[in-house]
């Protein structure tokens, strides 16, 4: 796979071993030296890219599972989830995660929108997914909306035999598989309990979090770590993952916090009515996963989706996984998703053979 400017990322494996990643599995990944972190340019946008790649010799037979993150779209929050999912898929699929343009750690671009992030994701896929690969998409939160808005163009691209014109779009054909939508924020975001809660900050007091971030940025790392523990305390008793702490500490910056708020503001303004037509059009490719207690996408949204789009596949979480699963529940979410992928794709094979 074309991964320029590799940086050794074995520290992630150490964090994984400490946070319930099996010693044998972590050793297998580390032994093959398959874990990479890089920054690439997509269009004019710096993009962080994390990958766990199986040791296949023939690129044309590979499957890629691409994670489109929520907000914040910082790749390092998803590293444990990528590692766990890689093992859940029996090391038969590469697992990639990419940042949003506004959340690339070294060169975050300001004033982003959901529309621009859709353009960015399509461009990344067209540029870097090799010919002959099967592409499986996994969206989290607003990442699901980005996938939904991308599918028409991606399907058209995957079905054409002639590469598009232009250096940025000179990627070869690939096969587009299922898209798995985890805790999907794809409608009425401003009307949700969490949307109503954060709207005053996003609309009127947006300057407060960056100001606080500016003050916190001068504190020692040890103090910042304690503050992260306090802010992310949820009473569950589950240990906060070290890579989450490190990511939060390194990104307590005024520019990153402003970018996160800007994207959230745009989400609430633009993610309004459910695009039932698009879901109906791509129903055979979509698998939804709703939380049982999610203030960003309540259970009634799932029930209404099933009514509006008969036959759509929409799981309801039975494990108590929360919306921000990357904070403490990456391993459990990866296990759930791995089981769902096997169930859905085995059924698909049976239907195809029949």
Which pLDDT does position 62 carry in this prediction? 86
| DSSP, residue by residue, 51-91 | EE----S-GGG-EEEEEE--SS--GGGGHHHHHHHHHHTTT
Which pLDDT does position 335 carry in this prediction? 97
Which pLDDT does position 235 carry in this prediction? 61
Which pLDDT does position 254 carry in this prediction? 82
At a CB cut-off of 8 Å and minimum separation 6, what does 10 contact?
A: 30, 35
CA distance 259 to 175: 33
Which pLDDT does position 174 carry in this prediction? 87
Which pLDDT does position 253 carry in this prediction? 79
Which pLDDT does position 18 carry in this prediction? 34
Q: How many H helices and E strands in the chain?
A: 14, 9
Going by the DSSP 8-state scheme, the letter that residue 173 receives in this structure is -
Which pLDDT does position 265 carry in this prediction? 95
Which pLDDT does position 171 carry in this prediction? 44
Q: Domains for the chain: give ranges and CATH numbers.
A: 33-159+172-189+273-353 (3.40.50.1820)
Which pLDDT does position 3 carry in this prediction? 33
Residues 128-178: pLDDT tens digits? 998 888 999 999 999 999 999 999 999 987 765 444 444 444 444 789 999
Which pTM does this prediction carry? 0.84
Which pLDDT does position 169 carry in this prediction? 44
Residues 9-42: pLDDT tens digits? 334 333 333 333 433 344 445 444 489 999 999 9
Q: Which helix (H) or strand (E) is 50 found in, with range? A: strand 45-52
Residues of the chain with pLDDT under 50: 1-28, 30-33, 60, 161-172
Collapsed DSSP state (helix, strand, coil) of residue 267:
helix
């Amino acid at each position: 796979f074309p991964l320029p400017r590799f940086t050794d990322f074995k520290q992630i494996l150490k964090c994984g071993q400490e946070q319930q990643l099996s010693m044998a599995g972590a050793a297998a990944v580390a032994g093959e030296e398959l874990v990479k972190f890089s920054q690439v340019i997509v269009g004019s946008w710096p993009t962080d890219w994390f990958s766990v790649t199986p040791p296949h010799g023939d690129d044309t037979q590979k499957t890629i599972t691409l994670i489109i993150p929520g907000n914040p779209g910082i790749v390092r929050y998803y590293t444990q989830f990528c590692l766990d999912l890689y093992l859940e898929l029996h090391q038969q699929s590469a697992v990639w995660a990419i940042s949003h343009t506004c959340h690339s750690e070294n060169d975050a671009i300001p004033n982003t929108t959901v529309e621009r992030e859709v353009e960015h994701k399509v461009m990344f896929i067209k540029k870097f997914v090799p010919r002959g690969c099967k592409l499986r998409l996994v969206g989290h939160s607003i990442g699901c909306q980005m996938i939904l808005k991308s599918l028409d163009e991606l399907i058209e691209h995957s079905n054409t035999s002639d590469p598009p014109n232009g250096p940025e779009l000179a990627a070869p054909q690939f096969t587009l598989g299922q898209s798995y939508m985890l805790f999907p924020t794809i409608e009425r975001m401003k009307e949700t309990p969490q949307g109503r809660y954060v709207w005053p900050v996003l609309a009127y007091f947006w300057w407060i979090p960056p100001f606080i971030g500016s003050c916190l940025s001068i504190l020692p790392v040890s103090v910042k770590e304690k503050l992260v523990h306090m802010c992310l305390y949820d009473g569950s008793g589950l240990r906060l993952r070290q890579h989450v702490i490190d990511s939060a500490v390194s990104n307590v910056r005024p520019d990153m916090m402003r970018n996160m708020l800007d994207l959230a503001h745009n989400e609430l303004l633009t993610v309004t009515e459910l695009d039932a037509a698009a879901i109906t059009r791509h129903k055979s490719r979509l698998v939804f996963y709703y939380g049982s207690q999610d203030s960003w996408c309540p259970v009634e949204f799932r029930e209404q989706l099933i009514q509006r789009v008969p036959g759509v596949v929409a799981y309801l979480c039975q494990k108590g996984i929360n919306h921000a699963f990357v904070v403490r529940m990456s391993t459990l979410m990866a296990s759930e998703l791995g089981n769902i992928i096997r169930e859905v794709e085995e059924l698909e094979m049976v239907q195809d053979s029949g």
